[in-house]
Amino acid sequence: MFLGGTISTPPASLRLRSTLNPQNAVTQSSSQATFPAAMQRKPPSYSISDEDLESRGFILRRTAEGLNLDQLNSVFVAVGFPRRDTAKIEVALQHTDALLWVEYEKTRRPVAFARATGDGVFNAIIWDVVVDPSFQSCGLGKAVMERLIEDLQAKGICNIALYSEPRVLGFYRPLGFVSDPDGIKGMVFIRKQRNKK
């Protein structure tokens, strides 16, 4: 995940290989595209069902309503991200196209989070994928990612990318992400820091 700040090496870029290819779409006279029956999206099959998550005390949220930004910031810090200005987090959320977070019912705190920005039609980038360390290894990261990807694909977005630290690339590959697809390389502009006097 690319979060800004000082970067010593460019982050690895991953891109989701879409199962829906708009070039295979059949154009209708109303200028809308439909996919052949063999390519129609099937109902999502999640590794953990919504009902199972709920039975374990987790509530899925798809809007920022009720999200305590100070608590979210604490999760960011707990996984090693820099503490952020909550006013800037609020602005970022206003410019977010899709998000999903998990609230733990007993504490009413966010324990997992991910969001995506993009053009709303062709491209999206997933940012800020985090799971509170106390809740890691119980499937919440995968649950959030599966649903966020499904939400983006339901909007017809075929090109989904993310930035990731090299140590967690293996988490994203089983979800359909590949590094440097077809030799495509990502690039990141890094602003040079001026020496402060």
- pLDDT 10s digits, 80-94: 999 999 999 999 999
Is 163 a residue of the active site? no
pLDDT at 32 over 60: no
User: Shortest CA distance to 100 belongs to which of 158, 179, 46, 156?
Assistant: 46
pLDDT for 43: 58
**How would residue 5 be classed by pLDDT, with cut points 50, 70 and 90?**
very low
How far apart are alpha carbons 99 and 75 in whole angstroms? 16
pLDDT at 178: 92
Among 56-60, 134-138, 162-166, name the one with the lowest average pLDDT. 162-166
Given this model, what pLDDT does residue 185 score?
83
Spatial CA neighbour of 191 closest among 2, 3, 1, 5: 5
User: Domain spanning 50-179: which superfamily?
Assistant: Gcn5-related N-acetyltransferase (GNAT) (3.40.630.30)
Between 56 and 40, the higher pLDDT residue: 56
**Domain spans of the chain, in order of start:** 50-179
- At residue 13, does pLDDT exceed 80? no
Residue with the bigger pLDDT between 37 and 118: it is 118
What span, in angstroms and rounded, lies between the C-alpha atoms of 107 and 109? Answer: 5
Percent of the chain surpassing pLDDT 70: 76
Predicted confidence (pLDDT) at residue 49 exceeds the cutoff of 70: yes
Q: What is the mean pLDDT of the chain?
A: 83
Residue of 126, 106, 128 whose CA lies nearest to 118: 126
Token output for 4: 């800004």
CA dihedral 164, 169, 175, 181 (to 10 degrees): 80
Residue 17, pLDDT > 80, answer no
Residue 19 confidence (pLDDT): 45
Digit-coded pLDDT (tens) for 137-155: 999 999 999 999 999 999 9
Residue 164 in this model has a pLDDT that exceeds 90: no
Which among 46, 104, 163, 172 is annotated as catalytic? 172
CA–CA distance, 177 with 12 (Å, rounded to integer): 12
